[in-house]
Amino acid sequence: PLAHGGQPWQDATIFDAVVLSLGTDFYKASMIDLDPDALGGAKMVEAFDRMAKLRSYVDDNFSGRDWNLASAMVINGEAGMQMMGDWAKGEFLKAGQKPGEDFVCIRFPGTQGSVTFNSDQFAMFKVGEERQHAQLLMASAIMNPTFQSAFNVVKGSVPARTDVSDEAFDDCGKKGMKDLAEANSNGTLFGSMAHGHAAPAAVKNALYDVVTRHFNGELTSQEAAEELAASIEAVK
């Protein structure tokens, strides 16, 4: 029933949601603060137990499958659901399916009211005063509500601003915007560990390794929690 691609970043995407479903305080302690007790404790063992349960819902041919092929499994009726970011919606739209009719977008069970995000970023280099005006114009254009709406409607994502009208968005987009605003107001909006916003690359890659080995049956949940704490402590 669960469409999944066996690639480290996809395994970690599910893991992100599973950890968040065990509570926002736990997500912050383990994924943001990198607290060794949270990383290697009983709650993390429970997170890995839940990952093992989810693995039992995935077919045996998942290894190496690209995320869009997993989306196609849901579109073609070969699976019931996929745990993926909102960019997957484009595959459904491309196949002629309509949000709210042919498919729905929901938060991972237990995470309503909180959101992990991955965002596009633009870096402005230190330049002479004569070029700073152009940089400000570009930044202003990118953050303009009209552009934020037009861009994210096409991409299938959610605007970086919380004051953008949802009028042009479909059901999935409207829900995403509402959820983001709710999480932002609650203080439960977190940069995603799986997608490189919560910690440096070395930490993320250490997590990838442990999560994927556990998902592939190479580690027990207890071993995975212990190794996760040790691996992250070694690289942070």
pLDDT in tens, 166-183: 999 999 999 999 999 999
* Total number of domains constituting the chain: 1
pLDDT at site 130: 87
Domain holding 113, by residue range, is: 2-117+183-235
Phi, psi of 18 (to 5 degrees): -65, -45
- Helix, strand, or coil (residue 6): strand
| 153 is a domain residue | no
Give the type of residue at 134. Answer: A
Distance CA 33, CA 56 (A): 31
**H helices present in the chain, as ranges:** 8-21, 24-27, 36-40, 42-55, 67-75, 89-94, 129-143, 145-155, 171-186, 201-215, 221-235
Name the token pair of 176: 């995403």
| 143 is a domain residue | no
pLDDT in tens, 114-150: 999 998 889 999 999 989 999 999 999 999 999 999 9
Distance CA 135, CA 146 (A): 19
Whether 87 has a pLDDT exceeding 90, the answer reads no
| 222 is a domain residue | yes
pLDDT at site 86: 87
Q: Give the CATH number for residue 111.
A: 3.40.190.10
**What's the whole-model pTM score?**
0.92
